[in-house]
């Protein structure tokens, strides 16, 4: 990109950011150059108590966390949005005009050998079985398409958004019996994903936070992490990942029991999800045995600097073997 | 059996194999000599050092057997080196492959095979018949990846070597890993015990988004280009109906406990039409007709943006079944009531199991595995599927197996031309039903 164009783009970007900050409300993101779009909800900044005394040891101590405002995907990312990133040839069929050079240049996943829908359905179903690295590269592709910085939620952002202002085990209360109104999980899913948005949203308008697919967060999984979240560290806490395993998964899936879906429940990625990959090095992109993992987008109201954005997207994958 | 008895038994076992091989025991270092601890070491050689070959060596070296990787061979030095580095980093002193036991080029395999007791044959499938024949000739136990051949002459070679391997009591495991996966084993056992009656029909699928592409680089000879981008050339790959879909076709043959007598089908290039994609089709739909008149439908395609599935279903006179590599194995009776369902969680990795079982048998001096014949026949089922879709003709098993239609280049060298060459625009001749002759 030449410097003039880059400057012009960043000015447009700033102006857009400024107006967004004035009016922090939900919006529809068009994926530029395509007919595709997705919905984002405004999540107010604030404080909340993270963790649960009723949960496992890794959910404790319950501690105060303060978060800046952000936007979060109303739904889990669907195959409809994800596949143009996965398949370059398919992307051209979904594009209005040529695929821009900066979009074309984004590294794409290796094509999965297996059927990554696992027979559960594709249209409006959550994209799944992607690795943490894959999920972040999808955000990078979206950034190239839209100019807007999207990323994975931090673990704290995820729990905060799932609680939607509540302190109970689920946003709707403590009564597991009501979970079926909000979530696809072991008891009602018939062992498969369902189209997003069919169940009731939480008070902040987010659908399928519980169940359907479990969702990636950015954080490294550390069982004792909460004990270290004090003072300044309680502002926008994040356990920055520097190892391939494990990262935190939240929300539980169609294949999980009710207790794994609780707002505070923490799950961790597992190398065994790649055991069916017979190659060395194993794929940076796919978990052939994790058809229950998907992703949801976050956009901070105040975006980081271009340098920080590049650093977020351009971390080299950690070889898996 | 105590340790010494076991060692003696194993020594006899290996010796018997080597004697049948022609008297000279080339691999004397493994079991000869005194009773020092090094006697127990089983030496392995890796033939084909791509990502899958490296994976297979990882799995072999992860078994409980006392193994040492002593030789490696690959056509390409860069692939051999990167494979060696990963293996040495992970397995340290279990990897003992100095420069003079690393063989680069088309003909290094025989030298590498000679240095081992057990060989892993993991190159692109076109070379498998040649490598398997050599390994058996030299009296070695074998792990080899599917497919085991890409054409009828290759299959004949593998069948002949399979027979010889049986005579020599050489264990042969083929990487049709569903045969080593619990959901398949448990479900197939029940099917063969009659749980859903006689199998009268079925459908097997490998519909996915496709695989990698290696672009042509400047200064590559045609031979090097085809070797790098091997998936798209039949003398190396056999088309994806053979290279991938053989897994599902093998399940059809397993469930039927038979091989088809004839095959017909249709296919084409719908998505992959450019010059990066060699000659192979991107879709095949095939009917496999068995001697009892039952028909199994087989479908495989590499399309982007479509509904995908990789699995198998079969209908019997008393019920039906669903199977997939995701550890599914379900049986229903004729009223739709579930009568068996294999748990999808907590299963072993079949790619590991196939090595665990092979090396356990070899360590104990047992002759347990003779996968080559059935694997060759399932590969041939896929190959005649390709013959059917390329030609548009009905292909009879017995006729096709006699065909003198080798795809192998006359000479294997970087400056030699493969049989299929591109035109002035870089495009390759594409098989056309009704015109293309295959047998």
pLDDT at residue number B40: 85
Query: What residues form DSSP beta bridges with B333?
Result: B319
The pLDDT tens digits for B117-160 are 999 999 999 999 999 999 999 999 999 999 999 999 999 999 99
**pLDDT band at residue A10 under the 50/70/90 scheme:** very low
State the smallest CA–CA distance between residue B345 and chain A in angstroms. 9
Q: Is the pLDDT of residue A18 over 60?
A: no
Closest Cβ opposite residue A291 in set B175, B308, B326: B326
State the smallest CA–CA distance between residue B207 and chain A in angstroms. 7
Mean pLDDT of A232-240: 96
Of the candidates B278, B192, B190, which has an alpha carbon nearest to the alpha carbon of residue B236?
B278
- Which of B62, B211, B299, B304 has the most A C-beta neighbours within 10 Å, making it the best mutation to test the interface with A? B304
Contact B212 A83 (CB under 8 A): no
**A254: its two tokens:** 């169609």
pLDDT at residue number B11: 57
Report the phi/psi class of residue B2: left, alpha or beta, with left for phi > 0 and alpha for psi in -120 to 50.
beta
Alpha carbons B298 and A238: distance in angstroms, whole number:
49
Contact B325 A276 (CB under 8 A): yes
**pLDDT band at residue A147 under the 50/70/90 scheme:** very high
DSSP SS3 for A197 = coil
Beta-carbon contacts of residue B365 (< 8 Å; ≥ 6 apart): B6, B9, B10, B11, B12, B13, B14
Mean pLDDT of B288-294: 98
**pLDDT band at residue A4 under the 50/70/90 scheme:** very low
Beta-carbon contacts of residue B321 (< 8 Å; ≥ 6 apart): B187, B191, B196, B255, B313, B314, B329, B330, B331, B332
Q: Is the pLDDT of residue B14 over 80?
A: no
**pLDDT band at residue A36 under the 50/70/90 scheme:** very high
Contact A280 B51 (CB under 8 A): yes
Alpha carbons B331 and B160: distance in angstroms, whole number:
37
Residue A50 has φ and ψ, to the nearest 5°, of -95, 140
Task: Give, to the nearest 10 degrees, the angle between helix A132-146 and helix A306-313.
Answer: 140
Contact B351 A275 (CB under 8 A): yes
**B439: its two tokens:** 């047998």
**B180: its two tokens:** 């080593």
| % residues pLDDT > 90 (chain B) | 90
- Which of A114, A130, A256, A291 has the most B C-beta neighbours within 10 Å, making it the best mutation to test the interface with B? A114
DSSP SS3 for A216 = strand
Contact B208 A112 (CB under 8 A): yes
State the smallest CA–CA distance between residue B410 and chain A in angstroms. 31
Contact B307 A281 (CB under 8 A): no
Closest Cβ opposite residue A278 in set B52, B90, B271: B52
Q: Is the pLDDT of residue B172 over 90?
A: yes
- Which of B213, B326, B344, B347 has the most A C-beta neighbours within 10 Å, making it the best mutation to test the interface with A? B326
Q: What is the DSSP letter of A212?
A: S
- Which of A82, A88, A107, A115 has the most B C-beta neighbours within 10 Å, making it the best mutation to test the interface with B? A115
**pLDDT band at residue B280 under the 50/70/90 scheme:** very high
Residue A62 has φ and ψ, to the nearest 5°, of -65, 130
Q: Which residue of A has its CA nearest to B59?
A: A278
Contact B349 A275 (CB under 8 A): yes
Q: Is the pLDDT of residue A310 over 50?
A: yes
Residues from chain A contacting residue B308 (CB–CB below 8 Å)? 115-117, 122
Q: Is the pLDDT of residue B278 over 70?
A: yes
Q: Within an 8 Å CB–CB cutoff, is residue B308 touching chain A?
A: yes
pLDDT at residue number A23: 87
pLDDT at residue number B261: 98
The pLDDT tens digits for A167-200 are 999 999 999 999 999 999 999 999 999 999 999 9
Mean pLDDT rounded to a whole number for chain B:
93
pLDDT at residue number A6: 46
Higher per-residue pLDDT: A221 or B21: A221
Exposure pattern of A228-240 as b/e (b: 16+ CB <10 Å)? ebeeeebebbbbe
**A309: its two tokens:** 């954005």
Contact B51 A279 (CB under 8 A): yes
Residues from chain B contacting residue A282 (CB–CB below 8 Å)? 55
DSSP SS3 for A24 = coil
Mean pLDDT of B182-200: 98
Give the DSSP per-residue string, B178-245. Answer: GGG-HHHHHHHHHHHTTTT-SEEEEEEEEEES--------TT--HHHHHHHTGGG-TTTS--HHHHTT
State the smallest CA–CA distance between residue A91 and chain B in angstroms. 9
Q: Within an 8 Å CB–CB cutoff, is residue B324 touching chain A?
A: yes
pLDDT at residue number B3: 57
Alpha carbons B260 and A25: distance in angstroms, whole number:
63
Higher per-residue pLDDT: B338 or B29: B338
The pLDDT tens digits for B386-414 are 999 999 999 999 999 999 999 999 999 99
| % residues pLDDT > 70 (chain A) | 93
**pLDDT band at residue B10 under the 50/70/90 scheme:** low
Mean pLDDT of B308-337: 97
Residues from chain A contacting residue B313 (CB–CB below 8 Å)? none
Of the candidates B253, B254, B249, which has an alpha carbon nearest to the alpha carbon of residue B190?
B254
Exposure pattern of A254-290 as b/e (b: 16+ CB <10 Å)? bbbebebbbbbbbbebeeebbbbbbbbbbbbbbbbbb
Higher per-residue pLDDT: B345 or A215: A215
Contact B324 A119 (CB under 8 A): yes
Q: Is the pLDDT of residue B232 over 60?
A: yes
Q: What is the DSSP letter of B392?
A: -
Contact B54 A275 (CB under 8 A): no
Alpha carbons B62 and B33: distance in angstroms, whole number:
26
**A232: its two tokens:** 């300044």
Give the A-side interface with B, CB within 8 Å: 83, 86-87, 89-90, 93-94, 110-119, 122, 275-282, 288-289, 291, 321
The pLDDT tens digits for B335-374 are 999 999 999 989 999 999 999 999 999 999 999 999 999 9
What's the gap between Cα B392 and its chain centre?
A: 26
Mean pLDDT of A277-295: 96
Contact A278 B177 (CB under 8 A): yes
pLDDT at residue number B28: 38
CA distances from A137 to A248, A295, B380 (A): 17, 12, 41
Mean pLDDT of B92-115: 98
ipTM reported for the complex, 2 dp:
0.86
Of the candidates B167, B129, B181, which has an alpha carbon nearest to the alpha carbon of residue B311?
B181
The pLDDT tens digits for B47-68 are 999 999 999 999 999 999 999 9
Closest Cβ opposite residue B305 in set A83, A116, A288: A83
Kind plus residue range of the DSSP H or E element containing B165: helix B152-167
Contact A278 B307 (CB under 8 A): no
pLDDT at residue number B349: 97
Q: Which residue of A has its CA nearest to B351?
A: A278
8 Å CB contact between A67 and A160: yes
Q: Which residue of A has its CA nearest to B84?
A: A280
Mean pLDDT of B407-427: 97
Beta-carbon contacts of residue B247 (< 8 Å; ≥ 6 apart): B146, B176, B178, B206, B325
Mean pLDDT rounded to a whole number for chain A:
93
Alpha carbons B241 and B293: distance in angstroms, whole number:
23
Cis peptide before A31 (omega within 30 of 0): no
């Amino acid at each position: 990109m030449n410097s003039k164009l880059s400057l012009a783009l960043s000015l447009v970007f700033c102006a857009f950011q400024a107006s967004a900050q004035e009016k922090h409300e939900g919006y529809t993101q068009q994926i530029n150059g395509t007919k595709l779009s997705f919905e984002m909800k405004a999540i107010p900044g604030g404080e909340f108590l993270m963790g649960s005394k009723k949960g496992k040891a890794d959910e404790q101590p319950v501690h105060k966390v303060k978060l800046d405002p952000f936007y979060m995907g109303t739904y889990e990312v669907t195959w409809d949005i994800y596949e143009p990133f996965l398949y370059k040839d398919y992307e051209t069929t979904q594009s209005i005009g040529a695929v821009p050079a900066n979009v074309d240049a984004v590294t794409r996943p290796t094509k999965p050998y297996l059927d990554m829908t696992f027979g559960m359905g594709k249209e409006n179903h959550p994209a799944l079985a992607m690795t943490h690295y894959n999920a972040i590269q999808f955000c990078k592709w979206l950034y190239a398409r839209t100019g807007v910085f999207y990323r994975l939620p931090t673990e704290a952002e995820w729990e905060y958004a799932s609680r939607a202002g509540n302190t109970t085990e689920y946003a709707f209360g403590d009564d597991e019996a009501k979970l079926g109104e909000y979530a696809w999980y072991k008891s009602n899913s018939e062992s498969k994903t369902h189209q997003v948005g069919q169940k009731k949203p939480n008070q902040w308008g987010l659908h399928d936070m519980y169940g359907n697919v479990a969702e990636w967060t950015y954080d490294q999984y550390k069982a004792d992490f909460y004990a270290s979240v004090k003072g300044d560290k309680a502002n926008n806490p994040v356990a920055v990942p520097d190892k391939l395993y494990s990262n935190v998964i939240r929300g539980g899936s169609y294949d999980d029991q009710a207790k794994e879906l609780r707002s505070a429940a923490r799950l961790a990625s597992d190398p065994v999800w790649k055991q069916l990959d017979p190659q060395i090095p194993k794929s940076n992109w796919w978990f052939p045995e994790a058809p229950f993992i998907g992703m949801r987008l976050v956009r901070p109201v105040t975006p980081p600097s271009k340098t920080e954005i590049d650093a977020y997207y351009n971390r080299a994958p950690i070889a898996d073997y | 059996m105590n340790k010494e008895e076991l060692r003696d038994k194993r020594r006899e076992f290996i010796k018997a194999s080597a004697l049948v091989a022609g008297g000279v025991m080339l691999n004397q270092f493994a079991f000869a000599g005194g009773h020092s601890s090094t006697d127990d070491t089983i030496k392995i050689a890796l033939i084909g050092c791509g990502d899958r070959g490296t994976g297979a060596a990882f799995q072999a070296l992860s078994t409980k057997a006392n193994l040492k990787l002593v030789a490696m061979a690959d056509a390409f030095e860069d692939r051999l080196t990167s494979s060696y580095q990963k293996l040495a980093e992970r397995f340290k002193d279990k990897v003992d492959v100095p420069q003079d036991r690393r063989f680069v080029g088309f003909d290094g395999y025989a030298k590498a095979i000679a240095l081992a007791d057990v060989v892993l044959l993991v190159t692109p499938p076109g070379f498998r018949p040649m490598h398997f024949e050599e390994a058996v000739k030299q009296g070695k136990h074998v792990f080899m990846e599917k497919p085991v051949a890409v054409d009828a002459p290759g299959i004949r070679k593998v069948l002949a070597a399979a027979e010889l391997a049986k005579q020599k009591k050489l264990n042969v495991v083929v990487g049709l890993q569903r045969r080593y996966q619990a959901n398949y084993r448990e479900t197939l056992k029940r099917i063969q015990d009659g749980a859903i009656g006689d199998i009268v029909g079925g459908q097997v699928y490998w519909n996915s988004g496709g695989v990698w592409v290696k672009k042509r680089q400047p200064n590559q000879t045609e031979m090097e280009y085809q070797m790098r981008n091997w998936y798209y050339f039949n003398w190396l790959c056999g088309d994806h109906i053979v290279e991938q879909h053989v897994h599902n076709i093998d399940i059809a043959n397993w469930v039927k406990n038979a091989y088809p007598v004839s095959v017909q089908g249709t296919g084409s290039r719908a998505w992959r039409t450019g010059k990066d994609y060699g000659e192979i089709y991107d879709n095949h739909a095939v009917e496999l007709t068995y001697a009892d008149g039952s028909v199994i439908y087989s479908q495989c395609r590499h399309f982007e943006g479509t509904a995908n599935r990789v699995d198998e279903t079969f209908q019997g006179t008393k019920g039906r079944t669903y199977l997939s590599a995701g550890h599914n194995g379900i049986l229903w009776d004729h009223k739709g009531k579930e009568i068996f369902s294999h748990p999808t969680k907590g299963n072993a990795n079949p790619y590991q199991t196939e090595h665990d079982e092979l090396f356990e048998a070899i360590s104990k001096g047992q002759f347990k595995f003779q996968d080559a014949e059935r694997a060759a026949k399932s590969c041939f089922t896929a190959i005649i599927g390709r013959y059917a879709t390329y030609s548009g003709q009905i292909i009879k098993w017995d006729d096709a197996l006699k065909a003198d239609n080798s795809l192998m280049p006359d000479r294997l060298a970087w400056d030699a031309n493969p049989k299929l060459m591109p035109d002035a625009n870089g495009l390759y001749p594409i098989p056309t039903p009704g015109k293309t002759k295959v047998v």
